Each structure stands twice: as C-alpha cells, then as structure tokens.
Chain A
Amino acid sequence: MTTQEILFYAFAALAVVSALGMVLNLRNTVAAAMSLVVTMVSLAGIYVLLEAHLVAAIQIMVYGGAIVVLFLFVVMLLNLRADEFAPGRQWLTKLAAGLVVFAAGAELIRLLSGELPEPGELPPGFGGYRMVGISLYTDYVLLVEMASLLLLAAIVGALILAKRRID
C-alpha cells in the first residue's frame, strides 16, 4: 500500500467510527458533538488526499471549528439528555433520518453496481484557493450572490428574533 492509501484508510476508518460514536452516544450529547468534530477533521484529511486543499481547510475552520462549537454552546447551556427531547416529534425525526439513509444507501448501491470511472488527470492548481475562487466568481457568480443574499437574510432574521426578546 502506498502512503496515500494507508492515510486514506486511516482517515476513512476514523470518520466511520466517530460518526457511529456520534449517532450511538445518546446519553452524552457533548461526547456526541466531539465525535462529530473527529468526523469532520477526518473528512478534511480525506479532502487533502483528494487535492481539495481549500475545501479541507474550510471543512476544519467552518464545520470542525465554528459550527460544532456553537452546537456545544447550546448543548452545554441547556445540558440536555436524550429523554428530555420533545417526545412528540420523535417519529418525525426518525422518518426524516430513515429517508436520508435510504436515499444515500440507494445512491451508494447504484454507484457501486455500475462501472466506476477511471481517475483522470487533474488540471494544474486543482482544488487550490485560486482555481476555486476563479470558478466561484466567473461560472457560479449568480449562485454565490444568491447564497450571500440568503445568508444576509438569515443574519437579519436572527437579529430581529434576538432583538425582540431583549426589548
């Protein structure tokens, strides 16, 4: 096995194990959140192996860092346990989770049963911030602007909600 393969299997195993740890860790929500961090970081490792360096860095900064810290914030402040979640909504959560798993599983089977594509040559600078930036601001500029508008709306909405409670 090459170094790349060893690293890939190590990161992949870590990602799967920590993801299972997150899902199965029902009694301790903080431990579940920390497992999620490990999953995110191992995914970032896989992205690095795929030459997607910018995505890897953003994966750690945004998902591994900021978002899960916010999760932790809420979890720690509320100190919730599994049995304290609203019982009436449980079937809805389970249905949604089941649908997602079913869709992902079906897609996986479809991919694995067909012919796997041959790996091609990467263009120079692939996955770097330069190439990603250029394609974001030329080919996908409309989508970027729409996403930024959406985020702005979310910020303003959060501000209004929080402000009402302060006043």
Chain B
Amino acid sequence: MPIEVVVKTLFIILVVVGALAPVITWVERKQSAVMQDRIGANRADVAGITLLGLLHPAADVLKLLSKEDVVPLGANRFMHLISPLIAAVPAIVGYAVIPFGGVYQFGDTRLSLVAADPDWGLLYIFAIGSIATYGTVMAGWSSNNNWSLLGGMRAAAQMISYEVTMGLSVVGIFMVFQTLKLTDMALAQDTTFRVLGFLDVLFGIPVPAWLDWVRLPAWGIFYQPLAFLMFLAAIMAENKRPPFDAPEGESEIIAGFHLEYSGMRFGLFYMSEFIEVIVIAGLVATIFLGGWAIPYLSTQTIIGGVGSVLGTGFATGLCMLLHFGCFMTKVVVMIWLQMALRWTLPRFRYDQVMDLCWKILLPLSLANIFVTGFVMLLVEG
C-alpha cells in the first residue's frame, strides 16, 4: 500500500505538476498568439532548435531562478518569504482526490487511479481552496506596499465570496449523484439516460419504445447545465485569472498582491495559477463531464466485449488506458476553454466581480437547489 501511494504521489508531482504545468504556460502563450494573430513564443532555442517554442518554459525557469530575490524595505520578512509557498501548496495537494481513472481488478490486485479517495472528496477540495486565500492575502500585506495591500484585500474579498457560490452551485450535483466522493461521481456518470424520459416522469406522457435510442451520457453537465456554468465561473474566480484578475489589476493597482515579488517567488505565484488551471480542469471534468467515463461505452461493455476475445486481463488493462486517455482529453478541453476565456474576456471591474457573485450567481445557485429538489421529489415521489 505505501508503495502505491508513493508512486501516485510521484506521478502527480513529476508528471502533472512538473511536466504538464510548464507546458500549460507554453499553451497559454501559443494560444494567445494564435488568437491575436501573432507568431508567439518562438525565440528560445538550443543550437537553433526551437521546438515550436516549447523551450520557453525552461528559459523562464532559468531566468526566474537566477534573478535576485528581493524583500522590500519594511516588509515582514518571514511572511513575505513564506506566502508564495502558502499559495502553491494547496494548488498541488488538490490533485490528491482527482480520479485519473476508475478502479480496475487484475486477478487479485485492485488498481485505483486516484491518490486519495476520501468520502468527503469535494469538501476536501473546498477546504484546500479556502487555505489558498492566505497565500495571496499575506503576500499583499507583508510587502509593505499600498498597491499590494489593496490587491490582497481584493483577493480576500473575492475568494471568500466565490467560495460560497462555488459550494452552493454544486449542491444540485450532490443531490443528483447522492455523493460527495469524486470517484463515485465519475462512476455514476459511466452510463446513459433517456433524454425524453422527463416527459414520462413529469407530465405522464408515455414515450414510445422506438424513441428509446435518444440517449445522452449521464453527465453532470446534462443533469445540471446551470450548475456547470456557475461552478466554472466561481472556480475560475477563485483562481484569480482573467477575467477575474481584479486582485492583480495591473492597470489600476500595478500588479496587486505580487507586485513586490521577484525571481522564483513570483514564479511560484505564477505557477500555482497554472497548476490550479489543471486542477480546475480535472475537477470540472470529473463532476460535469463524466470523469474517465467514455460516452456510450461503459466499462462493462469494454471488458465484456474485448475480454471475450482477448482475455479479461488484457481487456481491463486496455480499459484503464482508454479511461485515462479519455479523462486527459476532457482535461485538455477544459484547459483550452479556460485559456480561450482568459484571452477573450476583458477584466471585470472589482465591483462587477462582486455583483456577479452576490447578485447573480448566489440567487441562481439557490434557485438551482430548489428546482433540483422539486424535480427530484416529483421523480421519486
């Protein structure tokens, strides 16, 4: 058991955080270049080889590591030095509960593609997220700079406010899937449902059997489309990337909470945002896009179909690879969506960010809970 945990932790730290996050910085630059009709990052090279600009992340890290690490005069030295770590660690430990695949039975050994699988998985993510607030708040306060302090204040207000909506917007999902466990949520979405079934259940109009093929994957986004939009908005606001980057707001408060940071400590803030982009993508994919589930192709179908020809062990292994690939595809799609939003929408003004949270998303998420409960009562009662 301990070996398994070590392997999974290493996979997360080395592959997801160590390798994927730098690639995301490249994706962001390249995508913004494409969207703005530029060539984009293509100058960093080793002996004339640029690899499409893929060497830029390495050049970035070299530059950041070799820069002077400045602590401003009058700053709280300890807090200033530790704040980037408080921001980065919650982002990394969030991966612990993201299921990269289901549970697979190879003879006597069970293999599960999630590092930790607590019953309260989603609550864990929310708890981790609320700790991340301190990284930015303390960074803003400890820098002894009024712009930083303003940025820290904005970050604190924004992150606490959106935490509320983020939690409330997925209550409907808890009700539909009857669980907070992320692996169970993914498992529950590994099936399909009749699209026209609601006619029968709610209005008593029988649906003819020949329309039975009109099915959708039982994904969260189809059960709770409003929750999907609200959760995505709330969790992107938690990450403080544009269009929700009022805490940075370089046109008004210069760079906000990380104004006084230089070198790798600035890099840590920067990286933690990118690491969080992947966490968000994984979380949204798990809750709303079926996790590792392949649409219209359930686990039993794969293992049963391929297993009868090539043996169950091979079929299970194939199934695991397919599920992992499927999950990563969804993650990539969600990362693309976040990047596209980031380069499409202008920054919200600070009061607009707050209005969106308290006046639009909060009432809508409460209404969503009531409507979901009402429909579920009708369906079950």
Contacts and interface: CB of A to CB of B under 8 A. Distances in A.
Nearest to A30: B141
Interface in A31-85: 31, 34, 37, 41, 44, 53-54, 56-58, 60-61, 64-66, 69-70, 72-73, 76-77
Given A129-B120, A129-B123, A129-B180, A65 B153 contact: no
A128 B123 CA distance: 11
Those 5 A-B pairs whose CB atoms lie nearest each other, nearest first: A65-B130, A57-B123, A60-B127, A57-B127, A53-B120
B131 A64 contact: yes
B294 interface: no
A12 B177 CA distance: 36
A61 B156 contact: no
B153 A76 contact: yes
By CB atoms of chain B within 10 A, which of A31, A57, A77, A128 has the most? A57
Nearest to A63: B130
B137 A72 contact: yes
Nearest to A128: B119
Given A41-B131, A65-B133, A72-B137, A53 B118 contact: yes
Contact of A128 (B120, B137, B157): B120
Contacts of B160: 65-66, 69-70
B79 A34 contact: yes
19 contacts: A30-B79, A30-B138, A54-B120, A57-B126, A58-B123, A60-B131, A61-B123, A61-B127, A64-B130, A65-B130, A65-B131, A65-B160, A66-B130, A66-B160, A69-B159, A72-B141, A73-B153, A76-B141, A128-B120
A54 B126 CA distance: 12
Interface string A13-38: 00000000000000010110010010
Of B76, B120, B149, B153, the most chain A CB neighbours within 10 A belong to B120
Would you call the interface of chain B mostly helix, strand, loop, or mixed? helix
B22 interface: no
A60 B126 CA distance: 9
Contacts of B133: 65, 69
Contact of A65 (B120, B127, B141): B127
A30 B130 CA distance: 18
A77 B156 CA distance: 12
B249 to A, nearest CB: 18
Contacts of B141: 30, 72, 76
Contact of B137 (A54, A61, A69): A69
Contacts of A37: 131, 134
Chain A, interface SS category: helix
A57 B157 CA distance: 21
B120 A57 contact: yes
Nearest to B149: A76
Nearest to B129: A65
Contacts of A53: 118-120, 123
A57 B142 CA distance: 28
Given A30-B141, A65-B127, A72-B156, 17 more contacts: A28-B76, A30-B76, A53-B120, A54-B123, A57-B123, A57-B124, A61-B123, A61-B126, A64-B131, A65-B130, A69-B137, A70-B160, A73-B157, A76-B149, A76-B152, A129-B123, A129-B180
Interface string A111-128: 000000000000000001
Contacts of A69: 133-134, 137, 156, 159-160
A73 B153 CA distance: 7
Contacts of A28: 76
Contacts of A58: 123
Contacts of A76: 141, 149, 152-153
B163 interface: yes
Nearest to B126: A61
Interface in B111-145: 118-120, 123-124, 126-127, 129-131, 133-134, 137-138, 141
Contacts of A65: 127, 129-131, 133, 160, 163
B165 to A, nearest CB: 13
A50 B103 CA distance: 27
A41 B89 CA distance: 14
B96 to A, nearest CB: 13
B45 to A, nearest CB: 45
Contact of B134 (A34, A61, A70, A77): A34
